[in-house]
A and B are shown apart, each in its own frame.
Chain A
């Protein structure tokens, strides 16, 4: 699904590199969590996968154009008084993607928010807003779902609900998931593999390996 080879990236097209000599291979149906310290290049890698940035050197291949994207809640306009209802935000998006009207009701059922469709996005709780962003990304049943810190700023109960939803999508529908994670516990529990970014380079490991190498050693 994703094949990244010898990727170098810098915002100035010259060293120092944000990402250097990076390789990443993601198979269809995998659930990958991308972890690393602040400034390790997680969000940059995500934007390269989404096609918002171009590699300075190397090769990024994503095997589908049907990609769902869940931005960080603070990057979306939700909390800035934007006057838009839950249903409006989904309906306008499904029109952009030329999808049927039923796709919106399907997604509302999936995220269990069909009774709240006329609520303003800004009046929803953090967890509810995040579920709507996931629901929007799922419109058109994407082959690949990319998430940027899906649990940041969200209460524990909503986090559980969100990760249960992601696992459900991954296992039942077989959607490939790449999630930039700050929540290491969730990364270890939910992912099939973990991609650890450090100093602009990365390596793939199993959740068990990651827990043993990085979490238990503190």
Chain B
């Protein structure tokens, strides 16, 4: 199947996404902001529809709209300090409102459904270059900001005292999330972006490791799930996003059950001694 150009493009894009998404997802999960991925994925759909409307590359327009929405979330955080869930409702309304308005206007010449569910066929070579470029910039940003992001997530006060510019880094992180979400929209689709940002991390956290090892295991789970999802979706002729999400839930269940079985076995062993 990899003799096809579209499958080669999809495979490379999936590998990049599989490595990058847990690197962002781990901070979202630990900041209790898993649902931000959901709000921003809807914002990215609005970006896609605007890109299609004005004949621009949808990955780029998704990135721009999502980055602005991410920055808006950070800006609104100061206004709605005690009702932070309202921020997500506002961004969701902006994204979904824009997308539905554009789609229902009948002015789109391309079908936007493929961005809802993801599609193997839609990753063009230009999209791939765009994804590689965004991934390169994201990796550089992540490497530079790794310690700052870790400490803002772990203990924001301590980070501030150590001289970290918390607000500025949070804005940079919002752009990073936007970048990864806009890369994911082609392959996995809007509906399951937040699932894939968070589930491999949730699975890795069950292993009880430190931060670096949890991140590495998240990447391992993410790569297995996305690549297996891509290949199986090709043979089953279904959308890769939905199937990959199912695989992610399946792997999480296997790890949870395995953990329980191991704990029971150890408990019985301890009781017998």
A residues within 8 Å of B by Cβ? 50-52, 67, 69, 71, 75-77, 81-85, 88-89, 92-93, 95-97, 118, 120, 136
- Whole-angstrom distance from the CB of A146 to the nearest CB of chain B? 9
A12 to chain B, nearest CB (A): 13
Q: Choose one: B148, B158, B210; the contact of A85 (CB below 8 Å).
A: B210
Given A84-B210, A97-B163, 7 new contacts (CB under 8 A): A71-B155, A77-B154, A83-B210, A85-B210, A93-B151, A93-B162, A96-B164
Q: Determine if B209 is an interface residue (Cβ-Cβ < 8 Å).
A: yes
**Interface digits, B127-151 against A, CB 8 Å rule (1 contact, 0 not)?**
0000000000000000000011011
B residues 209-232 touching A (CB-CB < 8 Å): 209-214
Chain A's nearest CB lies how many Å from the CB of B19?
19
Q: Does B112 contact A (CB under 8 A)?
A: no
How far, in angstroms, from A93 to B164 measured CA to CA in the complex?
11
Q: Which residues of B contact A50 (CB under 8 A)?
A: 157, 161
Q: Would B208 and A120 count as touching, CB distance under 8 A?
A: yes
Give the distance in Å from the alpha carbon of A52 to the alpha carbon of B147 in the complex: 21
> Smallest distance from the beta carbon of B273 to chain A beta carbons, Å?
22
9 A-B pairs (CB sep. < 8 Å): A69-B158, A77-B153, A83-B214, A84-B150, A84-B154, A85-B210, A96-B163, A97-B162, A136-B158
The reply to whether A93 and B205 form a contact with Cβ atoms under 8 Å apart is no
User: What separation, in Å, do the CA atoms of A118 and B208 have in the docked complex?
Assistant: 12
Interface residues on B, range: 20 to 34
The minimal Cβ–Cβ distance linking A187 to chain B, given in whole angstroms, is 23
Which 5 pairs, one residue from A and one from B, show the smallest C-beta to C-beta distance? A85-B210, A96-B162, A83-B214, A95-B147, A84-B211
Is the C-beta of B30 less than 8 angstroms from some C-beta in chain A? yes
CB of B160 within 8 A of chain A?
A: yes
A120 near B163 (CB under 8 angstroms)?
Answer: no
B121 contacts the other chain (Cβ, under 8 Å)? no
Residue B251 lies at the interface, judged by CB distance under 8 Å to chain A: no
Chain A residues with CB under 8 A of B154:
76-77, 82, 84, 89, 92
B161 / chain A contacts, CB cutoff of 8 Å? 50-51, 67, 69
A92: contacting residue among B151, B157, B209, CB under 8 A = B151
Does B159 sit within 8 A of A, measured CB to CB?
yes
Task: Give CA–CA (A76, B148) in the complex, Å.
Answer: 16
Distance of A84 Cα from B154 Cα, bound (Å): 9
Q: Which of B147, B155, B209 contacts A83 (CB 8 A)?
A: B209
Which residues of A have CB within 8 Å of B157? 50, 52, 69, 71, 75
Considering the chains assembled together, what is the distance between the CA atoms of A85 and B154 in angstroms?
Answer: 12
Q: Are B212 and A88 in contact (CB under 8 A)?
A: yes
Closest B residue to A146 by beta carbon equals B161
